[in-house]
């Protein structure tokens, strides 16, 4: 398997049954270039964000990979957590993934009131839900399946 | 009805369990029988997780046997037992069971469960190791998950071969020699989609080989699942000799006879309890030679030191061992 350094379309450039290391970078801060994969064959992917097309590409690459493959994800939490969730759905296990997280990047908060997911900045403990405009308190509780933090209506427990 | 089949009282290991009746005994191979147990008063038995085992009492002893059904609302429990001529007597007692006999059994115990998120189960079995793996294959078929099986057995000595063929069709690969098996195993380990988990059951050395190869091919521990037989079904092993340095005597340990038994036959009293390599009671000091460690008691580090061995199950890698006895 040769190294692929150019951006790659879904599955192309990847021979079926790949068991090397897939390195996927997201956004401008995501960079897997410094990640040493040793002697193992390497397949590089670069995405602007974890949008549906990017996740479909990733699923396609994982779909033609075989057990033994490893995945390295680099970029903002919002993107790499979405990618990790998609990879897990494809059957990849946590110990087969390495997350290189840009903690300064945006993250995702889930609103249990309307079930919308909102991308918010790294700073702050509150955010406005993109679905129902509720002011959400961003809890520490994180769902790996959704790649999102739990939000809940802020200040509801305060006496008015 | 034999006395071994209806013990006076239940062994602690099967307490709170069930008293079942043998409803069928069928010969699988020259040395393996399948025994069907059912509730004497009819009705379904407790369901079990695929890959579970049953502890069955014989006389004063107990042995664990894998259940071969899918485990879903069973009306009967099926086990298959390999006769071990020089074992503790459990398999011999099982082979003497007849229809109508009653036995004390534990409730099913799960120690080799399938992973619920797996989309494919790659099953690898050698010899009597087919039993829990057959349960997995049946459960996968029931639940609409796919499975494939590599089954290694000596020609003419394979149990449940017809059922495996019917159940798995082209997903069954039968192997009768090591070379053929290695080729199939390597090919399959390198060609599994990401949802696959591996399940292995067979003699210890066989499982070690399969798991080692999987690790080399990049399989993480979380995808690897194995079921040790316990000492009841350990292979006979190679003959070796022991030199008892303090006693100044030398003993030959034949294949199929444990070191503990050999020492007892020679009049030595060795503290022991489980005789299955679990409790650590029969520990002996080794002065020279490398034991073939087959116990579940010593840590990997302790085993590597080769200064201690469990004489109930462990044997020798070298033709001779020197013991501090």
Please report, for residues B90, B238, B281, the alpha-carbon distance to residue B325 in angstroms, rounded to integers and kept in the order given: 30, 22, 15
A-chain CB neighbours of B192 within 8 Å are 66-67
CA distance A118 to A108: 6
Residue of B nearest to A89 (CA): B195
B215: closest CA of chain A, how far (Å): 9
Average pLDDT over residues B141-168: 94
Computed over every residue of chain A, the mean pLDDT equals: 89
Q: Residue A52 gets which letter from DSSP?
A: H
Task: Output the pLDDT for position B13.
Answer: 62
Positive or negative CA dihedral for A131, A134, A135, A141? Answer: negative
pLDDT above 90 coverage of chain B, percent: 70
Given CB atoms, is B124 within the 8 Å cutoff of chain A?
Answer: no
Residue A15 pLDDT exceeds 90: no
Task: Output the pLDDT for position B128.
Answer: 93
Nearest to B318 by CA among B296, B291, B293, B285: B291
Give residue A13's pLDDT band: very low, low, confident or very high (50, 70, 90): low
Report whether B205 contacts A32 (CB < 8 A).
no
Positive or negative CA dihedral for A58, A60, A63, A65? Answer: negative
Q: Residue A73 gets which letter from DSSP?
A: E
Average pLDDT over residues B106-119: 90
Positive or negative CA dihedral for B167, B171, B177, B178? Answer: negative
Task: Output the pLDDT for position B274.
Answer: 59
Task: Output the pLDDT for position B95.
Answer: 93
Q: Give the alpha-carbon dihedral of A95, A100, A101, A102, to 10 degrees.
A: 180
Task: Output the pLDDT for position B227.
Answer: 84
- Hey, how many other C-beta atoms are within 10 angstroms of the C-beta on A77? 24
Q: How far is CA B141 from the centre of its chain?
A: 24
B239: closest CA of chain A, how far (Å): 39
A-chain CB neighbours of B194 within 8 Å are 62-63, 65-67, 69, 90-92
Task: Output the pLDDT for position A3.
Answer: 40
Left, alpha or beta for B22 (phi > 0: left; psi -120 to 50: alpha)?
beta
pLDDT above 90 coverage of chain A, percent: 76
Nearest to B130 by CA among B177, B179, B81: B81
A-chain CB neighbours of B219 within 8 Å are 67-68
Domains by residue range for chain B, with CATH? 3-105 (2.40.30.10), 120-231 (3.40.50.80), 240-323 (3.10.20.30)
What lies within 8 Å, CB to CB, of A66 at 6+ separation is: A17, A18, A19, B190, B191, B192, B193, B194
Residue B233 pLDDT exceeds 50: yes
Question: For residue range B271-295, what is the model confidence (pLDDT) as tens digits?
Answer: 876 577 776 789 999 999 999 999 8
B140: closest CA of chain A, how far (Å): 17
Give residue B11's pLDDT band: very low, low, confident or very high (50, 70, 90): low
Give residue B18's pLDDT band: very low, low, confident or very high (50, 70, 90): very high
Interface test with A, best of B124, B185, B194 (most A CBs within 10 A): B194
pLDDT above 70 coverage of chain B, percent: 93
Question: For residue range A42-62, what is the model confidence (pLDDT) as tens digits?
Answer: 999 999 999 999 999 999 999
Task: Output the pLDDT for position B12.
Answer: 61
Question: For residue range A93-151, what is the model confidence (pLDDT) as tens digits?
Answer: 999 999 999 999 999 999 999 999 999 998 889 999 999 999 999 999 999 999 999 99
Question: For residue range A81-94, what is the model confidence (pLDDT) as tens digits?
Answer: 999 999 999 999 99
Given CB atoms, is A154 within the 8 Å cutoff of chain B?
Answer: no
Average pLDDT over residues A2-22: 65
Orientation of helix B204-216 relative to helix B178-189, angle to 10°: 40
3-class secondary structure for chain B?
CCHHHCCCCCCHHHCCCEEEEEEEEEECCCCEEEEEEECCCCCCCCCCCCCCEEEEEECCEEEEEEECCCCCCCCCEEEEEECCCCCCCHHHHHHCCCCCCEEEECCCECCCCCCCCCCEEEEEEEHHHHHHHHHHHHHHHHHCCEEEEEEECCCCCCCCHHHHHHHHHHHEEEECCHHHHHHHHHHHHCCCCCCEEEEEECCHHHHHHHHHHHHHCCCCHHHEEEECCCHHHCCCCCCEEEEECCCCEEEEECCCCCHHHHHHHCCCCCCCCCCCCCCCCCEEEEEECCEECCCCCCCHHHHHHCCEEECCCCEECCCEEEECC
A151: closest CA of chain B, how far (Å): 27
Residue B232 pLDDT exceeds 80: no
Left, alpha or beta for B51 (phi > 0: left; psi -120 to 50: alpha)?
left
B-chain CB neighbours of A95 within 8 Å are 220-222
């Amino acid at each position: 398997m040769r190294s692929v350094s150019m951006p790659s379309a879904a599955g192309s450039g990847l021979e079926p049954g790949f068991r090397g290391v897939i390195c996927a970078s997201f956004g401008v801060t995501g960079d897997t270039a410094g990640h040493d994969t040793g002697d193992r064959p390497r397949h590089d992917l670069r995405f602007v964000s974890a949008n549906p097309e990017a996740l479909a590409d990733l699923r396609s690459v994982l779909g033609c990979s075989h057990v033994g493959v490893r995945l390295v994800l680099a970029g903002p939490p919002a993107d790499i957590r979405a990618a990790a969730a998609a990879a897990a759905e494809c059957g990849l296990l946590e110990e087969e993934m390495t997350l290189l997280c840009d903690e300064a990047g945006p993250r995702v908060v889930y609103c249990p009131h309307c079930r919308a997911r909102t991308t918010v900045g790294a700073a702050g403990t509150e955010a406005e839900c993109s679905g129902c405009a509720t002011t959400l308190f961003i809890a520490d509780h994180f769902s790996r399946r959704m790649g999102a933090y739990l939000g809940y209506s802020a200040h509801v427990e305060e006496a008015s | 009805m034999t006395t071994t089949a209806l013990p006076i009282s239940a062994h602690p290991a099967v307490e709170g369990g069930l008293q079942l009746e043998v409803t069928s005994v069928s010969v699988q191979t020259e040395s393996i029988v399948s025994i069907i147990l059912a509730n004497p008063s009819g009705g379904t038995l407790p369901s079990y997780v695929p890959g579970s085992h049953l502890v069955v009492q014989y006389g004063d002893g107990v042995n664990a046997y894998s259940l071969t059904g899918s485990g879903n609302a069973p009306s009967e429990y099926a086990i298959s037992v390999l006769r071990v001529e020089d074992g503790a007597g459990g398999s011999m007692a099982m082979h003497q069971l007849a229809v109508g006999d009653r036995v004390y059994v534990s409730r099913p115990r799960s120690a080799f469960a399938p992973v619920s998120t797996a989309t494919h189960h790659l099953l690898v079995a050698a010899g009597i190791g087919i039993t829990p793996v057959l349960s997995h294959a049946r459960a996968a078929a029931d639940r609409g998950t796919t499975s494939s099986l590599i089954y290694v057995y000596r020609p003419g000595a394979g149990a449940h071969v017809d059922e495996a063929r019917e159940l798995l069709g082209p997903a069954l690969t039968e192997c009768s020699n090591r070379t053929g098996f290695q080729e199939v195993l390597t090919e399959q380990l390198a060609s599994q989609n990401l949802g696959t988990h591996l399940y292995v059951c067979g003699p210890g050395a066989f499982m070690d080989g399969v798991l080692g190869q999987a690790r080399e091919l990049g399989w993480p521990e979380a995808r690897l699942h194995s079921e040790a037989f316990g000492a009841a079904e350990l292979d006979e092993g190679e003959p070796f000799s022991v030199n008892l340095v303090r006693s100044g005597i030398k003993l030959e340990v034949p294949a199929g006879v444990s070191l503990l038994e050999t020492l007892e036959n020679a009049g030595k009293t060795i503290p022991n309890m489980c005789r299955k390599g679990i409790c650590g009671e029969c520990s002996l000091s080794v002065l020279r030679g490398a034991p073939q460690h087959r116990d579940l008691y010593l840590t990997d580090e302790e085993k590597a030191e080769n200064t201690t061995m469990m004489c109930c199950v462990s044997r020798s890698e070298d033709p001779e061992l020197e013991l501090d006895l």
